[in-house]
Amino acid sequence: MTLHRVCARDELSPGDCRIVEVGGRSIGVYNVHGEFHALLNRCPHGGAPLCRGIVSGLSTSEGPGRPVHWTMDGEIVRCPWHGWEYEIATGETVTEPVIRVKTFPVVVDDGDLMVELA
């Protein structure tokens, strides 16, 4: 297990993503409402650089003709190639059957964000 420095904590504001190369891998580190998460920057669907996708929310509805709600704002990343939606915190698609993108723990160490690789 190794820790790799991403940036100073204060450099990653809520809603932002920073893509870093660590341990030979491209990883996107996110600040979601003050919580930090890291995803492998590779969509398991088609291999796209997932973390270059926009950070978005989730549309939900009780049915056609009913209101469409906007939920989980800032908690979803939308793949730039085919629009697959992933929850940043879990790396799971919002659609079933669930596909997962690899996630990594992020720790704060003396004011720095560190991503942890196995």
Residue 90 CB, nearest approach to other proteins (Å): 16
> Which three-class secondary structure state does DSSP give residue 52?
helix
In whole angstroms, the minimum distance from the beta carbon of 72 to other proteins comes to: 12
Considering only the stretches 1-9, 16-24, 29-37, 92-100, report the one whose residues sit in contact with other proteins under the rule CB under 8 A: 92-100
Distance CA 32, CA 34 (A): 5
Q: Does 94 bind other proteins (CB under 8 A)?
A: yes
Residue with tokens 């085919």: 82
Instruction: Compute the C-alpha angle 38/39/40, nearest 5°.
Output: 130
What's the full length of the chain, in residues?
118
**Interface region with other proteins, contact rule CB under 8 A, candidates 13-21, 22-30, 57-65, 106-114:** 57-65
- Report the residue number, 9 or 78, with the smaller CB distance to other proteins: 78
The two tokens of residue 42 are 């590779």
Verify binding: residue 63, other proteins, rule CB under 8 A: yes
Q: Which is nearer to other proteins, 80 or 105 (CB)?
A: 80
Residue with tokens 């196995």: 118
